[in-house]
Amino acid sequence: MNKLMAGFARVDITPPMGISINGYFMKRYSDGVLDPLEASALALSCGDKTVILLTLDNLGIPQLYLQPMQEAICRATGLPKEALFIHCTHSHTAGAVGAKWEEPQNLQYRNDLAALLAQVAADALADRRPARMGWRTTDMPTLGFSRRFRMKDGTVRTNPGIGNPDILHAIGGPDEKLRLLRFDREEDSLVLMHYGMHPDSVGGTKLSADWPGFARRTFEQAIPNAKVLFFNGAEGDVGVQNVFPTSGDMNDLTLDFDDVYRGYGATRRYGRILAGTALQIYDIVEYVDVETLSFAQSKVKIPANVPTPEQMPQAREYAELHNSDRDDLIPYTGMQLTTVVAEALRMVRLENGPEYFEMYLSAIAIGPVALLGIPGEPFAAISMGVQGAKDFGTVVLTCNTNGYEGYFPMEDSYTEGGYEARSSNFRAGVGELLIAEGRNLLNQL
């Protein structure tokens, strides 16, 4: 017998102008709004168990800054921290919360955001009504692309540029599944849409939810009684850029500073593609009675990617040049410059440890569907590695959930190279560790 109840609420979280924006290794300050940033909450109850799934347009909130927000939500809802599933879509054009530059407007935004998230969670809780759940997955092979490529000289580069003649082949690739959960109430439908890809297609200094925002709005315009929450998946090594474009693929795109083509028109197109695919399966979900709802968290210890003494002289030099705004003296350009700067900053940051990092994995089971939250940016292979845990019909792996602690690459990428592994705070093997720990957590539900 179905026992599920569902509630929804949404709030505008667009920050004031002048706030700094995370996402690149340069200072950016917002000077306009292309589209609003939002936070949406889904409250689910079954019997005596209640969870809140909350997704917001933000790059990511480190555990250090997230903790007071979690405490505010717990006070507003009466729920334990383990029942909260707080996700950031990873927009690169959103107000910084854990900024590299601790500036007054960012600190104020962090405090304001805590109050807004507490209120939207409480509103979703108050909105609960009987619901039935349907779910379905479908293949979507034409949207996300690998960001990592082996070059003809044997090296591996992230985002090597469109049409680069030195590209040999892509390494890895996206989890090509689009997953959709549908919670039907008498008067409306609450839709959880899930796909894994970097929301980094706008660029510039104007605020935007990127393509996840377009996907939400496009779907809601097509289904007037639908309210959509978007949860991003394993996007650590997945981007929107097709390095071998065909006719029409380059429409609305302009070359940006890091060898990546971006454009707001193309952002709209990506969101429409995603929404269109979700609309194809909206009416053919498999409905199931939800008789159980469970949640759990586990603490994991991940060894740190500590540099060797031999690596430090050059790392200090590059870090000093970057921090004094003299990137032009570092002998690289484009994405290669971003890579060596990120690597140098990681080495300086971890020169004296710590030996390991502690963080939480989060899991929720809604009948036959499980959600697994990773506190950072996992490679797509991690999403595929946790599928089939226990008897779940599908595992919805979400990035930047209950924390944002950096990249989680697979072991072979550390010897291959590329931006993600060279900048990661975590030692080789972290991807495989998260697969094992994630499956263990899911099997406990």
- pLDDT value of position 27: 86
Task: Report the C-alpha gap between 133 and 286 in whole angstroms.
Answer: 8
Rounded average pLDDT over 94-123: 87
Q: How far, in Å, are 10, 180, 238, 403, 406 from residue 410 at the CA level? A: 35, 27, 13, 20, 13
- pLDDT, tens digit, for every residue of 152-192? 999 999 999 999 999 999 999 999 999 999 999 999 999 99
- pLDDT, tens digit, for every residue of 221-276? 999 999 999 999 999 999 999 999 998 999 999 999 988 999 999 999 999 999 99
- pLDDT value of position 23: 84
pLDDT band at 300 (very low <50, low <70, confident <90, very high): very high
* Token pair of 161 as six digits: 């540029």
Q: Is 224 helix (H, G, I), strand (E, B) or coil?
A: coil
Rounded average pLDDT over 366-374: 97
Peptide linkage before 160 cis (omega within 30 of 0): no
Rounded average pLDDT over 15-27: 90
Torsion of the alpha carbons at 154, 196, 138 and 183, rounded to the nearest 10: 170
Residue 399 DSSP one-character state: S
Q: Tell me, what amino acid is at 144?
A: G
- pLDDT value of position 395: 96
Residue 442 has pLDDT above 60, yes or no: yes
Residue 340 has pLDDT above 80, yes or no: yes
Q: For CA atoms 373, 76, 122, 133, give the dihedral sign.
A: positive
- pLDDT value of position 101: 56
Q: What's the whole-number average pLDDT of the chain?
A: 95
pLDDT band at 26 (very low <50, low <70, confident <90, very high): confident
Who's near 132: CB < 8 A, 6+ residues apart? 2, 4, 183, 184, 287, 289, 290
Q: Tell me, what amino acid is at 393?
A: G
The DSSP-derived string for 113-164 is HHHHHHHHHHHHHHT-EE-EEEEEEEE-TTS-EESEEEETTS-EEES--TT-
* Token pair of 296 as six digits: 């759990």
Enumerate the H helices of 359-411 as residue ranges. Answer: 380-386
- pLDDT value of position 1: 83
pLDDT band at 99 (very low <50, low <70, confident <90, very high): low
- Adjacent-strand bridge partners of 301: 358
* Token pair of 189 as six digits: 């439908």
How many CA atoms, within 13 angstroms, populate the side-chain half-sphere of residue 261?
18
Lowest mean pLDDT among 38-52, 203-217, 247-261, 268-282: 247-261
Q: How far, in Å, are 13, 36, 202, 335, 370 from residue 61 at the CA level? A: 14, 19, 20, 24, 23
Using a 10 angstrom Cβ sphere, with 0-12 exposed, 13-18 middle and 19 or more buried, the burial of residue 415 is exposed
Dmax of the chain from CA atoms? 67
Rounded average pLDDT over 15-41: 93
Q: Are strands 286-288 and 407-408 parallel, antiparallel or unpaired?
A: unpaired
Task: Report the C-alpha gap between 359 and 282 in whole angstroms.
Answer: 35
- pLDDT value of position 178: 98
- pLDDT value of position 307: 98
pLDDT band at 125 (very low <50, low <70, confident <90, very high): very high
